[in-house]
Amino acid sequence: MKNSYQVKIGMEIHSEIKTKRKMFCFCPNNPFEVKANTNVCPICLAHPGTLPIINKRAIEKVILASQALNCQIAKITKFDRKNYFYPDLPKGYQISQYDLPIGFNGFLPLKEKKIRIRRIHLEEDAGKLIHPQGKNYSLVDFNRAGVPLLELVSEPDIESAKEAKEFCQELQRVFRYLEISDADLEKGQMRCEVNISLAKNNSLGTKVEIKNLGSFRAVEQAIEYEIKRQRELLAKGEKIKQETRGWNKEKGITYPQRSKEESADYRYFPEPDLPFIEIDSFDLKKISSSLPELPWQKRERLKKQFPSLKEEEIEILISERKQAEFFEEAVSETKNYLQEEKIEKEKIAKILANFLLSDLRGLLIKENQPFSSLKFKAKDFAYLLSLFLKGKINSRIVKDVLRKMYLEGKKPEDIFKEEKITLISEKGDLEKMVEEVIKENEKAVADYKKGKESALQFLVGQIMKKTKGGVEPKIALEVIREKI
């Protein structure tokens, strides 16, 4: 019975668009304003007699997203009124788009398949309800009301919880690469909704919607639970109810909220206060010229360019556009610093990826900071790692200096001076230091000659002390053996 039903999943994704002002008024687009109901005006509060004004920049950004996601772009689009009541919806309706979306018939390529996109349209966000703990009332903050909101609807091409999670993650990368949205799920800048049905013979079964999933993990867990729940009902011969369900992450279950609305329930009609919009009036070539290399394009190119990198390393590298660009620039700069050494680019990439993903990224994650917050440049990172690849400093020095660069934004050469770190510029310099250590520690030398290996490690320690860790222990060990 388990394998006789096909899972069909469609996604509805909402993402707040980054603009200076709201969608239909001149209030600042800053839904995270600490003081409630500060960024509001008579228009976004729906006072009688006020008229909306279209934010052209928001439309351009949705056109850009549609182009990136291989959509056809509408010749003409318009706004509609979507009628429903909710306490945080000031107008009693939402200005959205119904039958003439900006983008349609597109697709998002995943690793294994393409997920078709039915439509991408633009609307305004609602406000936010606040529920004070221990109180029997709720408060409304309208700072978010009227913020431009992109809505994307996929076709039911997704067939598993894992695939749905991958779709949402890749879409988040696209929005961030395009710099149209930060798409932070924890802050509510991106919200995911799932439409799921189980059926036989590739048909669609009764659709169940799961609303407002606030993390990728929640998307995956809610779908897994819902597949199991529906399969069990169908196995008993029971029917699936068409409804909207919520997700209780503490209990790990979905629960019924209301019967699912259809488009007729919203009584859509064209927004009478806004004109139809001719998309040809926008400079489409100029908009498309700002398209960057997209995540799937970067992923494939890095795989071919750096075959020594693991798939999971490439996945982390491309998770942020700035991070991937920083990495590639650092590889190129390091190669320039190492022209005489003739070290292969593959080795350079592997070493840089290791320090970037384990050490530098670790510092950013600890502080919950994006890669774009770095205070130093790729060239500084490249210079530091080139010294390591030349054998002038060891990995511990790299880690310590990198941390100081991250915290203070200083150049590595300035940190070397401040910390009085000795760089081994030539093997002869190291040989002189080894000779000094041998003279200063005659007893340890004698002990080593008697067969005490621990004495040799003591001498290595003295070299490390003299150079403040500025040389690889293995190299120091080799020179000491030569000199004794």
Is pLDDT at 26 greater than 90 in this prediction? yes
Same domain (yes/no): 135, 211: yes
Is pLDDT at 172 greater than 80 in this prediction? yes
Is pLDDT at 37 greater than 50 in this prediction? yes
Q: What is the pLDDT of residue 427?
A: 56
Strands 76-77 and 277-278: antiparallel
Angle CA(179)–CA(180)–CA(183) in degrees, nearest 5?
Answer: 90
- Ordered DSSP codes for 126-149: --EEE--TT-S--EEE-SSTT-EE
Residue whose entry in the numeric block shows the structure tokens 């995270």: 32
Same domain (yes/no): 391, 335: yes
Is pLDDT at 83 greater than 50 in this prediction? yes
Domain boundary residue, one of 399, 419, 439: 419
For the segment 246-254, the average pLDDT, to the nearest whole number, is 95
Number of domains present in the structure of the chain: 3
- With pLDDT > 90 as the criterion, what percentage of the chain qualifies? 76
Same domain (yes/no): 368, 415: yes
Same domain (yes/no): 21, 93: yes
- Tell me the torsion sign for CA atoms 394, 400, 406, 411: negative
CATH of the domain at 478: 1.10.10.410
Same domain (yes/no): 337, 205: no
Tens of pLDDT, residue by residue over 214-242, are 999 999 999 999 999 999 999 999 999 99
Going along 218-326, which residue ranges are E strands? Answer: 243-248, 253-259, 269-270, 277-278
- Ordered DSSP codes for 69-134: TTPEEPSEE--EEEE---TT-TTSEEEE--SS-SEEEEEEE-SS-EEEEEEEEEEE---EEE--TT
- Ordered DSSP codes for 404-458: HHHHH---HHHHHHHHTPPP--SHHHHHHHHHHHHHHTHHHHHHHHTT-HHHHHH
Q: Which of 154-168, 182-196, 199-213, 215-229 has the lowest mean pLDDT?
A: 199-213
Q: Considering only residues 89 and 390, tell me which one the structure prediction assigns the higher pLDDT.
A: 89
For residue 99, the enclosing domain spans: 2-288
Is pLDDT at 23 greater than 80 in this prediction? yes
Is pLDDT at 133 greater than 50 in this prediction? yes
Same domain (yes/no): 188, 337: no
Same domain (yes/no): 393, 281: no
Same domain (yes/no): 227, 370: no
Same domain (yes/no): 66, 91: yes
Residue whose entry in the numeric block shows the structure tokens 């700072």: 143
Averaged confidence pLDDT in the chain = 92
| Residues near 358 by beta carbon (within 8 Å), at least 6 away in sequence | none
CA gap 102, 435 in Å, rounded: 75
Q: What is the pLDDT of residue 484?
A: 81
Same domain (yes/no): 69, 176: yes
Tens of pLDDT, residue by residue over 429-462, are 677 888 888 888 988 888 888 888 888 889 888 8
Q: What is the pLDDT of residue 445?
A: 85
Q: What is the pLDDT of residue 1?
A: 43
Q: How confident is the model at residue 260 (pLDDT cuts 50, 70, 90)?
A: low
Domain boundary residue, one of 258, 288, 318: 288
- With pLDDT > 70 as the criterion, what percentage of the chain qualifies? 96
Q: Which two tokens stand for residue 41?
A: 């005006």
For the segment 119-144, the average pLDDT, to the nearest whole number, is 95
Angle CA(472)–CA(476)–CA(482) in degrees, nearest 5?
Answer: 150
What residues are paired with 116 via a beta bridge? 107
Is pLDDT at 473 greater than 80 in this prediction? no
8 A C-beta contact, residue 335 and residue 379: no
| Residues near 470 by beta carbon (within 8 Å), at least 6 away in sequence | 392, 393, 394, 397, 421, 422, 423, 424
Tens of pLDDT, residue by residue over 335-385, are 999 988 888 889 999 999 999 999 999 999 999 899 999 999 999 999 999
Same domain (yes/no): 31, 110: yes
Domain boundary residue, one of 419, 444, 470: 419
Same domain (yes/no): 325, 276: no
| Residues near 158 by beta carbon (within 8 Å), at least 6 away in sequence | 8, 9, 10, 11, 115, 164, 167
